[in-house]
């Protein structure tokens, strides 16, 4: 058989994504965050998974890497949280750095801003960052999407551990991980008061994607 039919359909989405990058999908255009896509990073979708995983592991920044330390400082400030998992942080930092050549320098520059000032909250810091350099907004978006969605560089870095599920776990389960027992869904979930907080950054275009 010309192709190994038992493995081709098993190619993972994170790997498929690399070939998808060439196509500039409607969603990518709508989200507007992709920018110019370089074909140079394309990896054959048929490369074997273990090789790809080993390669990704080898490229992962250490939790002791100074850049990861800076990334964690920024992340704690931008989430208003005192603790964040450092292994997830290292993986997110690695992927954000890989997503664009300016990201590493931006992380260092944003960290310098954090070190140089007193910021009472994530919002205070984010406002100051965008005021200093509008390009920081995209990096902050990346950091927020990384921790809350578990996604960086277009890849799922974590799923169940994404913070969006932590803050909603009294009401819903991550899809495929329900644990409420039969017909749990008939019970009354918690009420949620209208939020009073304001956005810290200027808004970005977002279009709800059809399924």
Q: Which of residues 106-135 bind other proteins (CB under 8 A)?
A: 121-123, 125-126
Q: Could you say whether residue 18 binds other proteins (CB under 8 A)?
A: no
Closer CB to other proteins, 64 or 177, in the complex: 177
- Interacting residue with other proteins among 27, 47, 51, 108 (CB under 8 A): 27
First vs last C-alpha separation in the chain: 35
By the 8 A CB rule, do 61 and 48 touch? Answer: no
For residue 119, the minimal CB distance to other proteins (Å) is: 10
What residues from 28 to 87 belong to the interface with other proteins (CB under 8 A)? 78-80
Q: Could you say whether residue 5 binds other proteins (CB under 8 A)?
A: yes
Closer CB to other proteins, 109 or 145, in the complex: 145
- Ramachandran region of residue 36, left (φ > 0), alpha (ψ -120 to 50) or beta? beta
Q: Could you say whether residue 189 binds other proteins (CB under 8 A)?
A: yes
Q: Which region among 62-70, 87-95, 110-118, 137-145 touches other proteins (by CB under 8 A)?
A: 137-145
Distance CA 89, CA 84 (A): 7
Closer CB to other proteins, 40 or 197, in the complex: 197
- Cα 42 to Cα 47, 56, 97, 183, distances in angstroms: 11, 14, 17, 45
Cβ density class 113-144: b for 16+ within 10 Å, e for less = bbeeeebeebbebbbbbbeeeeebbbbbebbb
Distance CA 122, CA 16 (A): 35
Closer CB to other proteins, 10 or 39, in the complex: 10
For residue 76, the minimal CB distance to other proteins (Å) is: 10
Closer CB to other proteins, 67 or 156, in the complex: 156
């Amino acid at each position: 058989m010309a192709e190994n039919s038992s493995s081709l359909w098993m190619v993972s989405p994170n790997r498929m994504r690399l070939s998808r990058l060439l196509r500039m999908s409607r969603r990518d255009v709508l989200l507007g965050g992709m920018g110019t896509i370089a074909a140079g990073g394309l990896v054959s979708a048929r490369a074997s998974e273990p090789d790809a995983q080993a390669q990704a592991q080898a490229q992962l920044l250490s939790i002791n890497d100074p850049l990861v330390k800076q990334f964690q400082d920024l992340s704690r400030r931008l989430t208003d949280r005192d603790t964040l998992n450092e292994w997830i942080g290292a993986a997110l930092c690695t992927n954000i750095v890989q997503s664009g050549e300016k990201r590493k320098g931006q992380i260092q520059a944003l960290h310098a801003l954090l070190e140089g000032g007193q910021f009472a909250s994530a919002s205070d810091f984010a406002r100051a960052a965008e005021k200093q350099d509008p390009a920081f907004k995209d990096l902050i978006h990346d950091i927020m999407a990384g921790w809350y969605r578990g996604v960086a560089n277009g890849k799922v870095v974590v799923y169940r551990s994404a913070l969006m599920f932590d803050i909603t776990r009294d009401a819903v389960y991550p899809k495929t991980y329900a644990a409420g027992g039969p017909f749990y869904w008939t019970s009354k979930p918690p009420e949620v008061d209208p939020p009073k907080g304001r956005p810290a950054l200027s808004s970005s275009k977002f279009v709800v994607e059809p399924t």
